[in-house]
Amino acid sequence: MFLLPFLFCFCSLSAHSVFTHAQKRGEWSLKEQKKFWHHFQLKKEKHLLPTKSLIDDGDQQLTAQNGSNVEKKAAPIFSPEDAYCESFNIDIHPDDYPSARRNESVVERICGQKVMDPYRWMEDPDRPETKQFVAEMNDLSRPFLEKAFFRAQFRNKMKQLFDQKAYGCITKHGDYYYYAYSEGTQKQSAIYRQRTLSGEKELFLDPNQFSSDGTAAIVQSAFTRDGQIMAYTVAEKGSDLSTIRFRDVKGNDLPEKIRNVKQSSLAWMPNNKGIFYSKYAQRKRATNETHVTKDEFHSLFYHRMGTKADKDVLIADFRELDDPTLSISGSVSRDGRFLFVYVYDKDSANTVYYLDLKAIDNKIQRKPALSLLIHDTRAFFIILDYDHESESALVLTDHTAPNRKLIRIGMSTAILGCAHWDTVIAEDPERTLDSVVPVAGDKLLVVYIEDVKTYLYVHQYATGKLIYRIPLGIGTVSQCYGDRDDAEAFFSFNSFLEPPTFYRADFSLVEKTSMLQLEQIRHSDEWRGVNLTGVTVSQEFFHSRDGTKVPIFIISRNDTKRDGSNPALLYGYGGFNIPLLPSYSSHRNIFVKHFHGVVAIANIRGGGEYGERWHECGARSHKQNVFDDFIGAAEFLIEQKYTSPRKLAIQGGSNGGLLVAACSQQRPELFGAVINQVGVMDMLRFHKFTVGSYWINEYGDPEKPEEFEYIYKYSPLHNIRLSRGTQWPATLLMTADHDDRVVPSHTLKYAAQLYHYLKKPEVKLTQRKPVIVRVETDAGHGAGKPRDKVIDELTDIMSFLQRVIQLKCPSHHFLSPQLTNCPSPFCHPQFPWPVRSFILFVIPIGHRKIGHQKIGHQAENWTPPESWTPKENWTPENWTPSS
């Protein structure tokens, strides 16, 4: 066995010697390709390397290895790149996995069940022993990923994708239009502004000045009503904790800062006197410490401008309710009359209180008395607008309406209950009311979700009557912005194949033209993207285990062969009422266009695609429905011959990490690769860290016997087992050292327990598929991640896929910078990347060979780099084929 690595190397060098001469000539004929393949095949047979099922025995005849003839057809081209890929697909033996200290004395009884937790010490991420284990796992995964074929070239291509101008949606405050913008080379997008939409842009705020490595990011912002001051929050190293800072309209920074803010809204007092914000009870915390302590007693505060933060006034904490898991936020009505206070419990329902700011002359010296406005523990209520003329509030709610409705509540009669509420837009049983934005005095911009696609409508403010639908095609409307005091609104639209297009809606001309005028502020043509000619999207439906009809989007090339040979990436989330709507992704489309891959987005239960009912069918005791749906999606792709188990990769993050972990444990033979990003893995202790207690409504309470029973059955950490003869799927586990949402111990404990299991004698005999862990430093759950870290993450994901499911190497012109006149737009050095949020998912790229009729004209003048020597430094980018 100790000679095996040398035999691998010998085969690679022998293969190289066969085609070196053709390289130097700048050509590689069909005859020479056959000669090379036959030579390499003999080496593989001799040294027991993985073999292809067929070998070439002539121009038109193929002979199986057992000697039987098969149907005559054109001989396949097995290139030197493919041989190079094969030779580097080396497995990791379970004995190579790092071992962590097990403390088997840590046992607790939960609902009558004894549960061992031998790696509980890993719940302290700053413990030296924990850091050592992290270092050992990174030391194992880093070399494995760095050996991936074309890794450096792929990273360079990703860098080119990001080196593009990128815009965010426009908002208007005071005399300026504001938007996020990046030249492409910055680590974070900056905030720019213009006086007119056709005017010159000017830099207003650059977060790249906050840190040299780009790990400080702007999370949110809020302007005063007159646009004179902007409050904004800055988070460091991906943390959910942030600091509120202030900048005036002249670009000057104000001195005050409010630290340790978390899960906060920002709402200004009238006349710019102060701001309302939220944070948890004070705690001592070292500067570089990872926050894992359970968050309790969320509170709403008022900060008066010009004073120190420690003098801020407590508005509400509701400690009298003796529930430390309540979450509190605030908003101020458009006219500055009322402060609305929202109190959320674990069940995502909320109570609404209010404070009449006019009655107290906008002065808050001590904790005020709040008045109850809406009390219903079974629904959520969001106040969109307060109309001072009718003294009523416009409210979006799911009260007795799982698909949501819009109601109007009088301030004086609200306390009397729902019998006194007026319906403005009734619930639609076939569609979900996604968002409503009051605009232009008497109009409403309304977004509906119907069969996982969004549609935009204009309704009357007073009656809710539909005026017209805005035609936009099939895709997703997002980032809607508008104001009742302004005649213009802004929103973005994108789809799987169409990059974001930003629109301005001018309501001032509606009376003259009887139709809303749309102006494309930034057209998708500005994004010089992938040529998606020949790529299509289909929405299909499959039946889950219990017969439920589940939608799935499939993105593929028109010439994709349904023979089960295609690499495929299946993504899912399935939780928290969050829908996976169509969205554009350059690297996802590259995977399809240039690597002949198939991308599938499964709209499984637990999400918000079909309203609260769809969500409820995948929550708490129904969580197994989510896993069944996702497994059903994989089976559908295989049955329809889009792919096969060994070529199918699944990916999910956060709640989606729980999804792919549970599915890969329940059906390990179904998947070729698993990419698990910041997953929730310890389902018996998730509620004991940071904001985990807010997930009880989604997963259930593991401390209640009836809920413990179903949680324990699927908890990834507690269900690590295999049937005899089955391998654990090749798995990439990813987390970050400063993730204070899904704390890193979820992944660390899972990895340690999994490694311990795979080292068992009866398991390691058959386990050859690698399980590696990537722990990112100075990063959090995903939001605000700088450009370079995103590129590194995508490169590592692609590298993992290339190695474990043996993705075909891409076409030569995909990688070589010398092929400047290649007709493919992907070769263009200015290939674009639309900057998008990465909080929910990133879809990786894999390798796939793409054939071309003839590119020999590019090779005629090819000369090796001066530093190149045939045996020592040969890499495939120095090889140029002729066909």
Sheet holding 258-261, edge to edge: 216-223, 229-236, 242-248, 258-261
Q: What are the backbone dihedrals phi and psi of residue 36, each rounded to the nearest 5 degrees, phi first?
A: -65, -45
| Listed residue (537, 434, 432) closest to 477, CA to CA | 434
CB 11 within 8 A of CB 40: yes
Those residues whose C-beta lies under 8 Å from the C-beta of residue 139, and which sit 6 or more positions away, are none
CB 366 within 8 A of CB 354: no
* Distance (Å, whole) CA 745 – CA 599: 31
Those residues whose C-beta lies under 8 Å from the C-beta of residue 23, and which sit 6 or more positions away, are 864, 878, 879, 880
Coil, helix or strand for 371?
strand
Query: Would you tell me how many other CB atoms lie within 10 Å of the CB of residue 514?
Result: 9
DSSP state for residue 272 in the 8-state scheme: G
Where are the strands (E) in 285-387, listed by range?
A: 299-304, 313-316, 327-332, 338-344, 350-356, 371-374, 381-387
* Distance (Å, whole) CA 576 – CA 578: 5
* Distance (Å, whole) CA 649 – CA 654: 17
Q: What angle do CA 678, 711, 552 make, to 5 degrees?
A: 60
* Distance (Å, whole) CA 631 – CA 645: 12
Q: What are the backbone dihedrals phi and psi of residue 214, each rounded to the nearest 5 degrees, phi first?
A: 75, 15
Residue position matching structure tokens 């495929």:
568
Q: What angle do CA 525, 528, 534 make, to 5 degrees?
A: 85
| Listed residue (343, 428, 337) closest to 381, CA to CA | 343
Q: Which helix (H) or strand (E) holds 556?
A: strand 549-557
Q: What residues form DSSP beta bridges with 488?
A: 506
Where are the strands (E) in 224-318, listed by range?
A: 229-236, 242-248, 258-261, 267-268, 274-279, 299-304, 313-316
CB 484 within 8 A of CB 440: yes
| Listed residue (677, 636, 695, 622) closest to 838, CA to CA | 677
Q: Which helix (H) or strand (E) holds 628?
A: helix 623-639
Query: Would you tell me how many other CB atoms lie within 10 Å of the CB of residue 485?
Result: 12
Residue position matching structure tokens 């990791």:
92
So which residues are the catalytic ones?
654, 739, 781
